Amino acid sequence: GNSVTQMEGPVTLSEEAFLTINCTYTATGYPSLFWYVQYPGEGLQLLLKATKADDKGSNKGFEATYRKETTSFHLEKGSVQVSDSAVYFCALPGASKIIFGSGTRLSIRP
Amino acid sequence: GAGVSQSPSNKVTEKGKDVELRCDPISGHTALYWYRQSLGQGLEFLIYFQGNSAPDKSGLPSDRFSAERTGGSVSTLTIQRTQQEDSAVYLCASSLGTYTDTQYFGPGTRLTVL
């Protein structure tokens, strides 16, 4: 069945550093791919998504490209801010439910 | 518009007691989900309601866990005879269509079993 493997954290960066959080998947066909984010004390919310191969999702300066050749959907941001500190989850649909990665905790130092 | 709401936000209970957690999804959303998030862990799927179809209960960890969705809207997750390992944050989400659509999450209920 479909599965997702996500870079383990925690990840600590300085403000304005470049961010990459790796996500690779195994899937039948080409399902939509998602990144969700959970800010401290808040519920999860969709950060971005891509609905087909080669699509790029983007939001709040974050980007992720649906790469079928490498079965990856890595999350990137060119210059992180303290406010980006959160837990990030990669996700894709399984047979009857969304499959979430284990989450990557990101902390940004001022 | 109003998002997904959950109540209570925090619940402390004694081992062996029953608890009920409530979720109000976004109006018009046909799908509703319950997840569990233990400290430092990812999301564990519990149950999925889609319209009037029979719910997918494949994620419920034991028969102490049950959920209902009344009138296609509000849902209640019930945990009977709580155990300490049930301590977690219980998240509810809803989506407009099926589970492949964007899910909108509530703030969660933090359950502590003493």
**Inter-residue contact A15 to A81 (CB < 8 Å):** yes
CA distance B99 to chain A (A): 6
Please tell me which of the candidates A46, A97, A102 has its beta carbon nearest to residue B99: A97
Average pLDDT value over all residues in chain B: 92
pLDDT tens-digit profile of B33-87?
999 998 767 788 999 999 888 899 989 999 999 999 988 799 999 999 999 999 9
DSSP A72: B
Please tell me which of the candidates A43, A49, A96 has its beta carbon nearest to residue B91: A43
pLDDT tens-digit profile of B67-81?
999 887 999 999 999
Q: Which of residues 40-99 of A touch B (CB under 8 A)?
A: 42-46, 49, 89, 93, 96-98
Nearest chain B alpha carbon to A89: B42
Please tell me which of the candidates A89, A98, A101 has its beta carbon nearest to residue B99: A98
Q: Which of residues 3-22 of A touch B (CB under 8 A)?
A: none
pLDDT value at position B81?
A: 98
Q: Do B108 and A34 touch (CB under 8 A)?
A: no
**Inter-residue contact A37 to A45 (CB < 8 Å):** yes
> What percent of chain B is predicted at pLDDT more than 90?
76
**Inter-residue contact A33 to A101 (CB < 8 Å):** no
**Inter-residue contact B94 to B113 (CB < 8 Å):** no
For the cut 80, the answer to whether the pLDDT of residue B1 exceeds it is: no
pLDDT value at position A9?
A: 83
Q: Which residues of chain A have pLDDT under 70?
A: none
